[in-house]
Amino acid sequence: MQIKNTNYSYGLVAQILHWLIAILIFLAIVMGKMAEEMGMSSAKISMFVFHKSVGITVLVLVILRLLWKLTNPKVEDGLTEKQAKAASHGHWLIYVVMILVPLSGWALTSAANYPFAWMNLFSVPLLPLGEALKEPAEAAHGFFFYALAVLIVGHVAMIGIHKRKHNLNVLPRILPGKSLLSLVVVVVIFAALLVPTVKLALSGGGEDDFEDNAAVTAPEIREATVVNSALPAWVNVADSSKLEFVGAYSGEPFNGEFKTFTSNLYFDPNNLQESSFDVVIDATSVTTFNSDWDGSLAGLQWFDYKKYAYAYYTASNFEKTENGFVAKGELDLKGMKQPVDLNFTWQPVNENQVALKGNAVVDRTQFGIGSGSWAEDETIGFAVNVNVDLVLTPKAE
């Protein structure tokens, strides 16, 4: 069994790479089309992750196939010089487009800020592209996909044309072993990969309900708790303060932020008994820096803005720790209240400002963030790290 190419036939490596790439391309097409038709669900996310993983795999295999092609003897095709030149141009065009399809998909994923791990095993770095390139990348991905489809149809059609018009049977040269058996093996492998893909598609669908037609009273903001205290009163400087979080998407971290919130803090490191912390958060200001995700967050299974536009954190129990302090407070989010400890440091910046930096870990399922099937599916991780970075200034009298 020959491994390398000869002037008359392809070796085993080239044959395996050819059919593996072909199978994965067809699988990626099926996955992409199925995922587009699915409603937002964990199954849809998983489908797209595998679609992207297959695309990255194709990109790597095509590069390996090209390197192998360039370091092996050219297989004579038996065509005239003119026909051979046209065939060579066609083959090189297919290689180029096979590279451009996954590259444009990678660019789209990067511009849309969709972190993912290859086959959920290791991180694929996002390209440094801004959201402004999302639509151009999406258009390019679609164009190259259809261009590849046309080229593949033409490539397959040429097998018949060569046999009928040029009396050349080129297919057996790229098939390992007996032709019929090899084709059967290719079909079986593709079917074996397709079955779990179809099952995944059938398990997903329109699981998220984004509409609520019931009459709901517009939510009213709750005022910050008024505390009669002789302690210094601090409020956050909006432009210099951040309330951020880090979640997980198919095992990959993603960042989010609440852009609008106000905090009232009565705090003295030497008088923790009378200290208190009150934060009002505009839940509708949340962003994951991904327009697709942000469009889903208003839904009933996520933040349900229509009923719960605001969240609240209150604390009146503070303790000194080895690295700073801990506020043992309560988070009221989506109408559900749960205790949440906020570990933080307290550092004076200047005469008029103090920096409060803290961290808390919140289980999203305790607040109904991601209910329904999301409540038991770790595609979107359960634990969310909340990072608080406040610049505080004395409250005006």
pLDDT at 175: 74
- Residue-averaged pLDDT of the chain: 85
pLDDT at 330: 95
pLDDT at 227: 57
Percent of the chain with pLDDT over 70: 88
180 shares its domain with 249 = no
Query: Which pairs count as long-range contacts for 92-97, CB under 8 Å and 24+ apart, including other chains?
Result: 93/151, 94/148, 94/151, 94/152, 94/155, 95/62, 95/65, 95/66, 97/144, 97/147, 97/148, 97/151
C-alpha separations of 197 from 43, 47, 203, 306, 318 in Å: 10, 8, 10, 36, 51
Is 325 a domain residue? yes
Query: How many whole angstroms separate alpha carbon 131 and alpha carbon 137?
Result: 10
pLDDT at 207: 46
263 shares its domain with 185 = no
Is 220 a domain residue? no
161 shares its domain with 255 = no
Is 227 a domain residue? no
31 shares its domain with 179 = yes
130 shares its domain with 92 = yes
Instruction: Categorize the per-residue pLDDT at 202 as very low, low, confident or very high, splitting at 50, 70 and 90.
Output: low
Mean per-residue pLDDT, 11-33: 89
Is 355 a domain residue? yes
Q: What CATH number is attached to the domain comprising 164?
A: 1.20.950.20
One-letter amino acid at 182 equals S
163 shares its domain with 297 = no
Query: How many whole angstroms separate alpha carbon 375 and alpha carbon 147?
Result: 41
Range of weakest confidence among 10-19, 256-265, 303-312, 382-391: 10-19
Over residues 127-180, the pLDDT tens digits come to: 999 889 999 999 999 999 999 999 999 988 887 887 788 777 777 677 776 666
Mean per-residue pLDDT, 203-213: 47
45 shares its domain with 98 = yes
Instruction: Categorize the per-residue pLDDT at 210 as very low, low, confident or very high, splitting at 50, 70 and 90.
Output: very low
Is 4 a domain residue? no
pLDDT at 231: 81
DSSP string, 109-120: HHHTT--EEETT
Is 183 a domain residue? yes
53 shares its domain with 152 = yes
90 shares its domain with 172 = yes
Q: What CATH number is attached to the domain comprising 304?
A: 2.40.128.110
CB 292 within 8 A of CB 300: no
Mean per-residue pLDDT, 87-94: 90
pLDDT at 198: 65
Mean per-residue pLDDT, 380-392: 94
- Choosing from 160, 184, 203, the residue where a domain stops is 203
Give Cβ neighbours of residue 179 (< 8 Å, ≥ 6 apart).
Answer: 171, 172
pLDDT at 380: 86
Over residues 216-267, the pLDDT tens digits come to: 444 555 655 555 567 888 899 989 999 999 998 878 889 999 999 999 899 8
**Residue positions counted in the chain:** 397
pLDDT at 226: 52
Domain that holds residue 380: 233-394
Q: What is the pTM of this model?
A: 0.73
DSSP string, 171-229: HHHHSSSSHHHHHHHHHHHHHHHHHHHHHHHHH-SS-------S--PPP-PPPPPP---
Question: Domain total for the chain?
Answer: 2
Rg from Cα positions in the chain: 29
Is 7 a domain residue? no
Helix spans in the chain (H): 12-37, 42-70, 81-111, 134-165, 171-174, 179-203, 291-296
pLDDT at 216: 40
Give Cβ neighbours of residue 132 (< 8 Å, ≥ 6 apart).
Answer: 111
pLDDT at 211: 45
Locate tokens 């040269």: which residue? 173
Is 320 a domain residue? yes
DSSP string, 56-90: HHHHHHHHHHHHHHHTSPPPP----HHHHHHHHHH
pLDDT at 208: 46
Query: How many whole angstroms separate alpha carbon 260 and alpha carbon 282?
Result: 6
pLDDT at 212: 45
157 shares its domain with 283 = no
95 shares its domain with 193 = yes
What H or E segment, with its residue span, contains residue 319?
Answer: strand 310-320
195 shares its domain with 240 = no
Over residues 342-369, the pLDDT tens digits come to: 999 999 888 889 999 999 999 999 999 9
